Amino acid sequence: MKILVTGGAGYIGSILVPRLLRDGNAVTVLDTFQAGDTQLAACCEYSTFEPIKGDARDEALIQKLMAKCDVVIPLAALVGAPLCKQDPIGAKTINRDAVISIVRNSSKDQIILYPTTNSGYGIGTSGQFCTEETPLNPISLYGSTKVEAEQAVLESGNGVTLRLATVFGMSPRMRLDLLVNDFTWRAVNDRALVVFEGHFKRNYIHLRDVAKAFEHALSNYPKMRGQPYNVGLSSANLSKLELCERIKQHVPGFVYLEAPIGEDPDKRDYIVSNEKLEATGWQADVTLDRGIDELIKGYRMLRNGRFSNV
């Protein structure tokens, strides 16, 4: 297949794109490649790899690139509630409008595989799993822009949307702000963590299993077409405090406590069912414990003291 990936040099893309190339696809990546990023440098060995420096909001460029592809995977996004709050215009134009542009310029024969977020569930009902039939109730600009983009993809009739759980794992374009990555970083480097509203729950998924979900959706497109699917690790619907306890099993010196006052600005609290995707034959491979072990190894190589004087 000829696949266009916007934002392909990011956290997910730098894992997904090499896999798509290894699967035998031709992959064009549209990315800003900020600061001369080289996350996809190893992909240059493939004659079927084509990096394009540009902006996913450039509709003329999108039209030109889409004319040559069978599949579009729109990864370009401002990810997370804090970043979207900081740049609301960017959130709306990249997360929503750029995806709507892709839908508008797609033909009925092209496939759109869109990664949204189960942040759209917002605050769930205690003890009840959110399914794909659960009404969406985004509580942040990030969630609302992704929900609106997902709606456009589903209404087009030629897309599959993947509602990703909170992603974790090592990547060439690392993100330390994601919950498992963040808590593990603090356990390894600070040995201590203060948790706000530790009873809040959410679901988690390893980065490689996200890439596997894209591959699965591409292989099973005829039967998955036009539908949303939750993508998460069914054994990992955990509260923040439960997550800390799992990390402590790998970092015995880790101390954590719940703050008696204060609150988390991210109010998401839900548990998620992944049965619909699992019924199509997809299963997550990487356990939470394995992912934590990998993060601990990775953090021996990673340094975040960019602005320190030592």
How would you write the pLDDT of the chain (310 residues) with one tens digit per residue? 999 999 999 999 999 999 999 999 999 999 999 877 789 999 999 999 999 999 999 999 999 999 999 999 999 999 988 899 999 999 999 999 999 999 999 999 999 999 999 888 988 788 899 999 999 989 889 999 999 999 999 999 999 999 999 999 999 999 999 999 999 999 999 999 999 999 999 999 999 999 999 999 999 999 999 999 999 999 999 999 999 999 999 999 999 999 988 877 777 889 999 999 999 999 999 999 999 999 999 999 987 666 665 5
What dihedral do alpha carbons 207, 159, 110, 222 form, nearest 10°?
90
CA 208-213-214 angle, to 5 degrees, is 100
Per-residue pLDDT tens digits for 142-193: 999 999 999 999 999 999 999 999 999 999 999 999 999 999 999 999 999 9
User: What are the two backbone dihedrals, phi and then psi, of residue 287, each rounded to the nearest 5 degrees?
Assistant: -75, 165
Burial (CB count within 10 angstroms: exposed 0-12, middle 13-18, buried 19+), residue 41: exposed
Give the chain's end-to-end CA distance (angstroms, integer).
Answer: 49
Q: By C-alpha distance, which of 121, 149, 119, 147 is closest to 134?
A: 121
Q: Strands 49-53 and 71-74, how do they pair?
A: unpaired
The structure's pTM equals 0.94
- Residues 6 or more apart whose CB falls under 8 angstroms from that of 63 comprise 105
Backbone φ/ψ region at 100: left (φ over 0), alpha (ψ -120 to 50), beta: alpha
Amino acid at 74: P
Residue with tokens 């009902």: 125
Which domains occur in the chain, in start order?
2-168+205-234+268-285 (3.40.50.720)
Q: What whole-number distance in Å separates Cα of residue 103 and Cα of residue 109?
A: 12
**Residue 205 neighbours by CB distance under 10 Å:** 30
